Structure formats: structure tokens, C-alpha cells
Structure 1
């Protein structure tokens, strides 16, 4: 394994430079396989087959490039001889006489040799790194060592991502408390105080944040013709499905109020906050579609409308005194928060709306559509509004 140490060191250094800016495991895996395609000459495709049964909790499957339409790498390669042999032998293998890849339409893609390296952690199979070469080529010894290095790095990444996911499980207890949130000291606030008791006395501080508000469309309709406990269970199921996407994007669930959620993104980099808020909103929208398909409600789907705003807010503990007790919450207050809430109220049909500052932060990362200036409740002057969608799903006039 000491051979080709210079080339292997350079490959690892380039990889470290490329993945350092990223936090999300799936983004890192994509960068890793992109680098693998570059350093192994003659490669047609590099895949990372995620075999850990819990992989879906901390990352997403990669898509294979050998097919004419998107397909999970795991589905197309799981039963190929190279993968099966690598798993059975628990070591790297190369299969030279590989059968072509057959696509959905019956056409086949001729390929050359296949290399596969299993990724184990504590004797548990987490993944297999696979490279498919072009016909009439072969893997050099140097490339074989590089492939093994990459598989080792993939193992470190997956173990780290899995541990990070496990650490968030305490936060995910919000799943169980959404419908039964204490009226005085929410569990999320208790956790903050347990971690840092001085938070109770600390003054609020000005921070650049992004605020994401979720608003359930049709909540009133649900409340009219259903028992309260049934509505609470339904809302809990919908909101609970959003907890993982929110935490994956490093958001903190701050407030729950019947048909709404407030999420704060408070990284030191304002651009990171805006990008994470948009990522979370896109994931939430997809999860909401899935939950609606599962629920199949007679009166139609329950859409989640979202508003995002970025800017400076006062962030810290807030005490609200009532007749019985004092309620504490960790929140961001100011015009930034107010505008995000109004944008969520204005949105319809599952739209994702945001203001000018957020638009400037995510420019060139996603398509942005100008919705013009609109009047919002409680906002004196018309506000320039943007959306991630060309056509307004809800059909504002």
C-alpha cells in the first residue's frame, strides 16, 4: 500500500480541498465520486452503493450515469458479479469479463472491467465503491490503490455522518412534542438552558439570520369538520415529517403555533443561512407531497406554504409573563422575522416566497422568479417578492 505514495497523497489533498466547503454527506459523496472519475483514466462511471440499512436517515442515494434516465446506483449494480464478490470476500476485486449494462428500453451499454471495494465499519457493511471502465481498458496498480484509498475515506465519511445523525435524535424528540407542546417552558428551550444555563441571563444579540416560516394551507378547513384530537394528530404527522430535512439543513425549530412552524438558520455566514433555508424549504415541499400521497385526504391535499427572509435580527431568550407562569422561548425578533411570516401567509398552493436579500444570497444556485411588488399584511410599503417557481401554484391575482 506504500507504493505510488506521491500520487495517492496528491489525490487525497485534492479531495480534501474539494469537500472541505461542504457539510451535507450527500454533497461530499458526489464530489468524491466526481474526483474518482477524474483520477481513474478510462472510467465510464464511479458509484458509491449505500448498503447501510440506515443510510436513508443521513444521506441520499447517488444516481448512476450509465442509464438513459435517473436510477439509484444501488438498484443498477447491487447484483453485478464485481459487487457480489467484493461483499463475499470482504476485499477489493476486479472483474474483467463484465456483462453490458442493459437499460430500461432494452439497449445495452458495453463496458470494460469493473472494480469494487467494500466499505466496512466495525464489521458492518456500509457501502461498496464501484468503478466501471471503458471496453478494452484495464485498471493500473496505481489506480487500484487509489480506489482503495477512496473507499477508506468513504468509510470515515459515512461513520461520521451516521454519528452526526444519531446525535440529532434528541432534537428529533420534537416529533413527539409538536402536538403536546408545553404552554410554559418548551422542551427545546429546556435543552438550550441545560447546555448553557447562562442563556437565561444573557442579553439578546444582533445576528445575521435566515428565517423560514411554514404555514399549513387549509388548516381552518380541517378544524371545522374533524375532532380536535384528529386534527392535532394529522398536523403532528405532517410537521414531524419535516424534522429530519430541517436538521439536515442545520435549522433550529423555534416556534410551533397550530398551523405553523418557525425555523431559524444562524450560521456565522449569512449566505450559508440563506442557502440552508432554501434547501430545507425544497426538502420540506417534497416531503409534504409524499405525506399527502400517504394520507390521501378526501378533501384534497394539505399544502405547506413557506416564506423565507434574511437579515439582522435580535436573537436570544424571550420571557413572556402570563397569569400562571412565565413562558420562555429562544427566538429571533424584528422586521426580518415579521416579513418571513407575512410571506408564508401570502403564499398559496405550496409556494416558496422570499425577499430581496435572500434572492441576492442564492443567485445562480436556483432559478429565481420575480413576482413583483406586493402588499403584505402589517407591512407598510409594498415588498419585492421572489419565488422558486415560475408559476404561482396558488394563483394569486
Structure 2
């Protein structure tokens, strides 16, 4: 305008209309930017969620594989550590426990298959629960035979003592089971062999089938002691005996000539834990 004069009502209305449109445009831009930021945030969250889900699925798959040959708590510990090197082949000082039922082969020859399977199922269910309760690292089962390892892949302070505690709990539980089975005419017993020594431990196998296991003279010795144990006996190798002499009441069981072991072995028999004996005296 070249002349200074008051704005007309139409001019004011037009200016107000432009101002209102500008406010709306500014507000739309703000909302668009807020929506864009929220969209980016949601997208980032989705990407993070997808990554976490993929990681958890991978962990569940690894956990499932580990639980095929490790106890649940050990599998969880290995997975949480993120260190698969724990499972690589290595030498370790371990306590090895072998146990099986006395008279099971003869029982299977005369029992109905359904009876044999039922006995075996109850046996493994009860022994498996004790193995987990007493924190064993690994257990393998074949028929009525069970092998348990202490001090690998996770360390423990007293592997031989822990093995003896498990063996005593197993013996006590099996005494009740065998008494029930005798009422059905099944004459079964239970024996245990325990050794302490160095062995080669790690994952062995091929694609689709892997096992975490131990091999060596100490492992063979525990197996041979189990073979020699009578019903209710828990036999110890010399080194295992030495390791538990302050914790358990034991007695000599003589020298045994064992298959695969060159020299005769001085064997000890576990009676009870010393703290259990002291508690009985106080009572």
C-alpha cells in the first residue's frame, strides 16, 4: 500500500486467515516430526525385539542341546557363561560314580517287558532326581547303569565327598524301592563304585549326536568297583578313600583284582557320613 490508512475489515480477516493457516501448518509440521520420531522409535524397538527374540531362540536351542548330556543347572551355567570352551576336550580331576541294580539282568529274563520297563522308569526317575539335587555335573545312563561325574564341567570343592553323599542318598532311596519291589516278587539290589582321579573330559560324537563324557583309568576303576559291589555296598578307590576319610565312616574291603587294572586295588567300603554318626550319638 502506498497510502497509510487503517486496514479494512476484509484485510484484517484475510491476515487472520493467513495467520490461522500458518499456525495449522506449523502445528502439522510439529505433529509430523513427532510422529516420525515415534515411528523411528517403534522401528528401533521392533528391530531390538527381533534381535532379542532371535538371541533367545538361539539360546533355547543351545540349551536344549546341552541338556541332552548335562544336568539342567549345569547347562544353564554353561549357557549363561557364554563360554563353550568349557565343553572342549581337556584333562580334569573328577570324582566318578557308577551304579546299577543287582539282579536286574536275571529279573529281565523272567519278568514281563512291561514290568521291566516300569521298574527301570521308576529307578531312573528317582536316581535322576537325586543326581540333580546333589549337583552332579554330568550323568550317562544305559539300561540300569548310571555314570555320574563331579567337578566338571563346573568345579566343586570336594568332588569325592559330594559323590559319597549322592551314593548314600541313592542307597537309602533304593532300599525303599527294593523293599517295595520284593513285595511284587522282584529280587533286586543296588551297588555303587566311586573313584577320584584325572580323566580326559569333553564333548565327543558326530553331527546329530554328541555326548559330554569322561574316559581314562579313573573312570574304568569306578566302573569295575561298581561291578564288584554287593547289594547295598558303596566301594571306594584308594584316592577317593583318602579324600573322604575326614567326612565319612569307612572300613577296609580288602584288595581286589579288577579287569583292566594291572595291580590289585585296596578298596574301602562306605558305612555312613561322620556328621550323621555324631547326630545319632547326640540323639
> What is the aligned counterpart of 2:109 among 220, 224, 231?
224
Instruction: Tell me whether 1:311 sits opposite 2:197 in the alignment.
Output: yes
- Residue 259 of structure 1 is matched in structure 2 by 144
Instruction: Tell me whether 1:375 sits opposite 2:261 in the alignment.
Output: no
> What is the aligned counterpart of 2:266 among 377, 384, 390?
384
- Residue 338 of structure 1 is matched in structure 2 by 220
Task: Name the CA distance, whole Å, in 2 between partners of 1:340 and 1:278.
Answer: 12
C-alpha distance 211-226 of structure 1, shift in aligned 2 (>3 A): same
- Residue 268 of structure 1 is matched in structure 2 by 155
Task: Name the CA distance, whole Å, in 1 between partners of 2:184 and 2:125.
Answer: 21
Task: Name the CA distance, whole Å, in 1 between partners of 2:95 and 2:118.
Answer: 29
Q: Helix, strand or coil for the counterpart of 2:158?
A: helix
- 8 Å CA contact retained: 1:186, 1:329: no
Query: What is the CA distance between 1:348 and its match in structure 2?
Result: 1.1
- Residue 187 of structure 1 is matched in structure 2 by 68
- 8 Å CA contact retained: 1:185, 1:328: no
- Residue 287 of structure 1 is matched in structure 2 by 173
Query: What is the CA distance between 1:230 and its match in structure 2?
Result: 2.6
- 8 Å CA contact retained: 2:204, 2:211: yes
Q: Helix, strand or coil for the counterpart of 1:349?
A: coil
Task: Name the CA distance, whole Å, in 1 between partners of 2:229 and 2:95.
Answer: 18
Query: What is the CA distance between 1:240 and its match in structure 2?
Result: 1.2
- Residue 10 of structure 2 is matched in structure 1 by none
Query: What is the CA distance between 1:333 and its match in structure 2?
Result: 1.3
1:144-184 alpha-carbon deviations (Å, 9 max, x no partner):
xxxxxxxxxxxxxxxxxxxxxxxxxxxxxxxxxxxxxxxx9
C-alpha distance 371-228 of structure 1, shift in aligned 2 (>3 A): same
1:268-316 alpha-carbon deviations (Å, 9 max, x no partner):
35x5111110000000000001112333344454211100001111111
Task: Name the CA distance, whole Å, in 1 between partners of 2:71 and 2:247.
Answer: 37
- 8 Å CA contact retained: 2:197, 2:218: yes
- 8 Å CA contact retained: 2:138, 2:150: no
- Residue 235 of structure 1 is matched in structure 2 by 120
C-alpha distance 201-208 of structure 1, shift in aligned 2 (>3 A): closer
- 8 Å CA contact retained: 1:254, 1:329: no
- Residue 119 of structure 1 is matched in structure 2 by none
Structure 1 residues 12-161: aligned runs within 5 Å: none
Instruction: Tell me whether 1:360 sits opposite 2:239 in the alignment.
Output: no
Q: Runs of 5+ in structure 1 lacking a partner?
A: 1-183, 391-397
Query: What is the CA distance between 1:332 and its match in structure 2?
Result: 1.4
- 8 Å CA contact retained: 2:108, 2:116: yes
Q: Helix, strand or coil for the counterpart of 1:348?
A: coil
Q: Helix, strand or coil for the counterpart of 1:367?
A: strand
Larger Rg: 2
Count of matched residue positions in the alignment of Structure 1 and Structure 2: 202
C-alpha distance 232-376 of structure 1, shift in aligned 2 (>3 A): same
- 8 Å CA contact retained: 1:199, 1:317: no
Let me know the Cα RMSD of the aligned residues.
2.8
Q: Helix, strand or coil for the counterpart of 1:251?
A: coil
Q: What TM-score, normalized by structure 2, do the two folds share?
A: 0.63
